[in-house]
Structure 1
Amino acid sequence: MQAELHGTHPARVASTPFTESDWERVGGTLRALRELRGYRPEEFANHLGISRSYLVNIEAGRKKLTNVMLARAAETLKVPQIAIMRPTDAPSITATAGGTA
């Protein structure tokens, strides 16, 4: 029971099908969309509710983008969440200044 309370029970450990290179791709996509929309890192981090240094780590693939941050990023950038998370072999979603494809 003690292990379960501290999140070490195998059934409670969060896992992700993403590899390190997947997170690097997601971070690179996020950075590219941020730059396309003209957001400075500090400004965009404020929209996500995180520090600039945390954003830099996400964009470099060193930190993972949480579901909450993903939702905030997609809303701020006016793109569907899948446009940030999609694999590189998925159909391309064109981001325009108006946020429509």
Structure 2
Amino acid sequence: MCAVCAPHATRATHMRCSEGETGLSHVHGLRHDEAMDTTGHDWKRLGGQLRADRLLRGLEQQAVARKLGAGRSTIRNIENGHISTQTPTLVRYAALLGWPDGAIDRVLAGGEPEPSGSAEQQLAAPSDLSARIQRAISDGVLVDDQVVTVPIGDGEFTATIVVRGERPPTDDELRQWGRQMRAVEDALRNPPPPADTNAD
């Protein structure tokens, strides 16, 4: 059974494991302010997505600035949408967060960082889920999605986690969710050894 929890629950989100079990988690949703330039590029949305991903990974602005060799004010301007072109620092920032090629353009155009075939889309496809679960994984705004490969015996299975919600989380809630998600990933990838049933 795969399970995950997040603080201050407001709505259910589904996690499906490719070898059988399903579970529910809860977390707040993410909202952003729309601010497009004359080309239709939504720089404020891009900055908000980068900021949310940074918080989910437990990174502070100053730490990101050091890793990128940039000033903290530069990172702040990117996250606030106070840019209008794809600078080298912006591209390196996206790469630092694990965004794939083309993610910046997708977000600027109103999409998500992950291309077709992301965790969210992998989870939304199965038709053998109840209507309640299908609604839970499709309603609201995407907060986070992860695909975790878990070793079991000589094989492995894949846990797909999609987190959606109705209201934007606070910075502290994003950080707390990120910490919990990293703990869940670590527990799934490094399960404790089975109990010795022959022990007295």
Q: TM-score normalised by the shorter chain: which range applies? A: 0.5 to 0.7
| Partner Cα separation in structure 2 for residue 77 and residue 92 of structure 1 | 10
2:74 aligns to what?
54
Write the mapping of 1:18-97 to structure 2, written as runs, cut at 5 A. Answer: 18-19=40-41, 22-64=42-84, 66-86=86-106, 87-88=109-110, 90=111, 93=114, 95-96=145-146
- Give 1:66 deviation, angstroms: 2.9
**RMSD of the TM alignment (CA)?**
3.0
1:5 aligns to what?
none
2:39 aligns to what?
17
Instruction: Please say if residues 68 and 92 of structure 2, whose CA atoms lie closer than 8 Å, have aligned partners that are also in contact.
Output: yes
Runs of 4+ in 1 over 4 A off after TM superposition: none
Instruction: Please say if residues 100 and 113 of structure 2, whose CA atoms lie closer than 8 Å, have aligned partners that are also in contact.
Output: no
Q: Which has the higher strand share?
A: 2
Residues 38/85 of structure 1: CA separation in 2 closer, same or farther (3 Å cut): farther
Q: Gaps (5+ residues) in structure 2?
A: 1-37, 120-144, 149-159, 161-200
Q: Gaps (5+ residues) in structure 1?
A: 1-15
Structure label with greater radius of gyration: 2
- Give 1:27 deviation, angstroms: 0.7
The two structures have a TM-score, normalised by structure 2, of 0.34
Instruction: Please say if residues 70 and 81 of structure 1, whose CA atoms lie closer than 8 Å, have aligned partners that are also in contact.
Output: no
1:7 aligns to what?
none
Q: Is the partner of 2:82 in helix, strand or coil?
A: coil
- Give 1:85 deviation, angstroms: 4.0
Q: How many residues align structurally?
A: 81
- Give 1:17 deviation, angstroms: 3.0
AA at the equivalent of 2:89: M
Kindly, what percent of the aligned residue pairs are identical? Answer: 37
Q: Is the partner of 1:66 in helix, strand or coil?
A: coil
Q: Select the structure with the greater relative contact order (CA < 8 A; seq sep ≥ 6).
A: 2
